């Protein structure tokens, strides 16, 4: 599934290339006939991304929501577009630009109230200028869910996928299994800043490059040499920071990559909580027998 950087890049390309054009729309696949009819003949006025979702605004208040999901993809053509495939859900055609959308998880028209409700459910997007860091922290840092799982919850933080969570957790040296509710404020700020930087660079460049990542050998199939990761997809290879072997662990059906040495995975997952004055007062008020584990204090301790 494309991560937020790809969706934001698509939104920027579509905003530059498609906004202001009037399109004829149809649904070659036949699953979006009514929606295509409502869009056809209208001019595209805006394109926005929020996490992994795209929102297109047409004349007359018509709003199109697209979520590519696992199998969706978009193909762009200039003046000479080929015939669409049988899987093409939506075709937007004009004399100068044509778009073919195939296999999306969602392709639907939304009223403004429906769009607002959908956006309200989504977590804060690090790439959006209106993102609230405080709301992001409030949503992410709640409960006992492991941090690595919380980062993939699109209602907590929007736009983060498997690659970005592995690389961001590595760069911030955070244990992936740390309960999200135990993430300290300073660590959250470092994580948020790191995510925003990785997403922004990847949206600009079209691929993810983690700072300090080793070059990709030519023999690695299925990987672009421009992509460079520190831990993602590098199980058994040396960590670029400490030289320990990168590990992979299955977590909720997804592969989690990490360096146990750098990220403190071999240490207890629960971090000790800082002592407060109230904690000390409570311990001082407890009976001596309770503080010593239920045994009578020795004669030496009574003296």
Q: Active-site residues: which are they?
A: 2-3, 52, 254
Cβ atoms < 10 Å from Cβ of 122: 18
Give Rg (Cα) of the chain.
25
Cα–Cα distance between 41 and 23 in angstroms, integer?
5
Q: Nearest to residue 74, comparing CAs of 17, 14, 161?
A: 14
Cα–Cα distance between 188 and 172 in angstroms, integer?
9
Sole residue written with tokens 């992979």 = 248
Cα–Cα distance between 260 and 223 in angstroms, integer?
24
Cα–Cα distance between 1 and 272 in angstroms, integer?
36
Sole residue written with tokens 């969602």 = 106
DSSP letter (8 states) at residue 97: -
Sole residue written with tokens 């941090």 = 147
């Amino acid at each position: 599934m494309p991560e937020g950087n790809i969706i934001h890049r698509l939104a920027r390309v579509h905003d530059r290339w498609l906004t202001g054009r009037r399109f004829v729309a149809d649904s070659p696949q036949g699953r979006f006939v009514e929606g295509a009819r409502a869009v056809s003949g209208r001019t595209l006025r805006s394109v926005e991304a929020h996490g992994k979702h795209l929102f297109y605004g047409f004349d007359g208040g018509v709003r199109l929501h697209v979520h590519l999901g696992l199998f969706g993809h978009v193909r762009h053509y200039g003046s000479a577009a080929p015939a669409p495939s049988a899987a093409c859900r939506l075709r937007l055609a004009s004399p100068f630009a044509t778009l073919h959308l195939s296999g999306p998880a969602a392709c639907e028209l939304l009223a403004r109230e429906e769009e607002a409700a959908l956006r309200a459910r989504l977590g804060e997007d690090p790439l959006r200028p209106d993102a609230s860091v405080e709301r992001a922290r409030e949503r992410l840092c709640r409960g006992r869910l492991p941090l690595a799982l919380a980062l993939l919850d699109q209602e907590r933080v929007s736009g983060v996928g498997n690659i970005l969570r592995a690389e961001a957790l590595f760069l911030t040296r955070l244990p992936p299994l740390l309960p999200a509710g135990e993430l300290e404020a300073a660590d959250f700020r470092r994580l948020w800043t790191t995510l925003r930087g990785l997403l922004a660079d990847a949206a600009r460049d079209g691929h993810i490059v983690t700072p300090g990542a080793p070059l990709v050998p030519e023999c690695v199939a299925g990987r672009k040499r421009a992509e460079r990761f520190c831990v993602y997809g590098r199980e058994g290879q040396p960590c670029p920071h400490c030289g320990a072997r990168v590990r992979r662990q299955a977590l909720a059906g997804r592969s989690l990559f990490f360096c146990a040495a750098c990220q403190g995975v071999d240490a207890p997952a629960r971090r000790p909580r800082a002592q407060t004055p109230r904690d000390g007062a409570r311990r001082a008020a407890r009976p001596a027998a309770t503080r010593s584990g239920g045994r009578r204090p020795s004669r030496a301790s009574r003296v």
